[in-house]
């Protein structure tokens, strides 16, 4: 299971490889890119350059006969995957200032894919504060028949293409609608509109539910909500307050995202802002190796616009206190007991970001609940089962069908 010796690059490479089951990657393309990166020497620069070049190539005309709609459609979907791979590490590359441009390339590929779907998803902007949420509403057909609907919630660094891999085809094949969206701290809202995460995710989901229930092709009593990666915290938070959610899936369950950071990082935070930032800037930053600094830039940017803008200039943020407290505020330990919807909590063998937290969530739930750990014996180990998204979707949608009924 080793594509790269570095665990962070390896995990992302496995995610790309896993997307092939949903048409969101090609095994040969990914492995060829892996070989090229390893041959050049694994760095953020070699990773970004290789995957960005692959995205650019797929958005150009293919060899041979002119591409038909289906070819252009899936080339665009794979390009969105590869641009997303490059985007993840661009802050550590030679050109961190190209982050927004690289995001827009991936978004353009995603939108090209969507425009070529049959039927194409309904695209809209759902009101949210002063910055509307872009949504893509996928339907099995245009009959207008009311159908159960799943709202697919991304994590702190995923792209729209990941929501395709982790839910859209599985939903459509079972006669469900699927809603994909960018929330604060994600996609367009982060990279373009500069809106960071909010701990009150119900204020994000409630307008989405309002928009869905106003549609005649949505069965309003059968709206499910899933949350992938850190959204295993966000989606449960929303379901604790938005009572129209009929079923909830946390993938994995997460109650304190702050615990996903190493102890040596967490201990920097003190009750005093000046003291915290002095420790960060005078004691920690001077000792940080460049690769560790790049990780911090990436992990903190969804929680701080200044941190994101500094990272685009090749700098490490100076205010640790403010984004760290926002991450701490994402804790949902005090609201899990409010959830009324039936809930499936997923866990993963070898979970590297939130170990033990899925069980904590399951134990705190008072609603009807199920817990399931995906394992290495199934090829479904590690955070979000990067090598087994098809199995992942089978588990989730079997449970949703059983829970909400025909």
User: Over the stretch 175-230, which tens digit does the pLDDT of each residue have?
Assistant: 999 999 999 999 999 999 999 999 999 999 999 999 999 999 999 999 999 999 99
- The count of other CB atoms within 10 Å of the CB of residue 146 is 15
d(CA 383, CA 348) in angstroms, rounded, equals: 6
Q: Would residue 197 be called left, alpha or beta, if left means φ above 0 and alpha means ψ between -120 and 50 degrees?
A: beta
Is residue 405 over pLDDT 90? Answer: no
Q: pLDDT-derived band of residue 65, with 50, 70 and 90 as boundaries? A: confident
Q: pLDDT-derived band of residue 1, with 50, 70 and 90 as boundaries? A: confident
Q: What is the pLDDT of residues 134-175, one digit of tens each?
A: 999 999 999 999 999 999 999 999 999 999 999 999 999 999
Is residue 406 over pLDDT 80? Answer: no
180 within 8 A of 160, measured Cβ to Cβ:
yes
Strand-pair partners of 127: none
Residues belonging to the chain: 406
Q: pLDDT-derived band of residue 305, with 50, 70 and 90 as boundaries? A: very high
- The count of other CB atoms within 10 Å of the CB of residue 213 is 14
- The count of other CB atoms within 10 Å of the CB of residue 368 is 12
What is Dmax (Cα atoms) for the chain? 64
Q: What is the mean pLDDT of residues 289-294?
A: 96
Q: What is the mean pLDDT of residues 249-255?
A: 98
The token pair at 184 is 């604060």
Q: Give the rounded distance of the alpha carbon of 11 from its chain centre.
A: 14
Among residues of the chain, what percentage have pLDDT more than 90? 98
pLDDT of 121: 98
Sheet containing strand 343-348, edge to edge, reads: 122-126, 133-138, 177-181, 147-153, 218-228, 247-251, 343-348, 369-374
């Amino acid at each position: 299971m080793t594509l790269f010796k570095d665990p962070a690059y390896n995990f992302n490479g496995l995610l790309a490889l896993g997307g092939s089951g949903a048409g969101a990657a090609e095994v040969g393309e990914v492995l060829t890119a892996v070989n090229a990166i390893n041959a050049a020497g694994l760095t953020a620069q070699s990773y970004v350059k290789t995957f960005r070049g692959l995205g650019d190539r797929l958005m150009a005309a293919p060899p041979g006969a002119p591409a038909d709609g289906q070819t252009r459609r899936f080339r665009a979907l794979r390009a969105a995957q590869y641009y997303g791979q490059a985007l993840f590490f661009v802050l550590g590359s030679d050109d961190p200032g190209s982050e927004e441009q690289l995001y827009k390339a991936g978004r353009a590929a995603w939108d090209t894919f969507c425009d070529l779907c049959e039927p194409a998803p309904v695209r809209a902007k759902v009101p949210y504060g002063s910055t509307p949420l872009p949504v893509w509403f996928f339907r099995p057909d245009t009959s207008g028949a009311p159908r159960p609907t799943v709202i697919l919630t991304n994590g702190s660094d995923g792209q729209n293409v990941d929501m395709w891999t982790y839910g859209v085809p599985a939903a459509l094949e079972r006669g469900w609608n699927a809603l994909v969206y960018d929330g604060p701290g994600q996609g367009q809202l982060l990279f373009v509109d500069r809106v960071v995460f909010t701990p009150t995710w119900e204020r994000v989901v409630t307008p989405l539910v309002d928009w869905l229930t106003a549609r005649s092709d949505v069965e309003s009593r059968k709206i499910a909500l899933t949350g992938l990666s850190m959204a295993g915290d966000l989606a449960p938070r929303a379901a604790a307050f938005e009572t129209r959610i009929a079923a909830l899936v946390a993938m994995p369950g997460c109650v304190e995202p702050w615990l996903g950071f190493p102890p040596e990082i967490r201990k920097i935070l003190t009750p005093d802002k000046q003291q915290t930032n002095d420790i960060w800037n005078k004691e920690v930053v001077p000792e940080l190796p460049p690769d560790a600094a790049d990780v911090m830039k990436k992990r903190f940017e969804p929680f701080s616009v200044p941190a994101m803008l500094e990272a685009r200039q090749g700098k490490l943020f100076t205010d640790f206190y403010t984004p760290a407290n926002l991450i701490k505020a994402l804790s949902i330990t005090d609201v899990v007991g409010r959830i009324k919807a039936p809930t499936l909590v997923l866990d993963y063998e070898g979970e590297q970001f939130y170990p033990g937290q899925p069980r904590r969530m399951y134990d705190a739930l008072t609603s009807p609940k199920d817990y399931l750990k995906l394992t290495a014996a199934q090829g479904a180990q590690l955070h979000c089962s990067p090598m087994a998204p098809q199995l992942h979707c089978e588990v989730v949608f079997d449970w949703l069908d059983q829970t909400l009924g025909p």
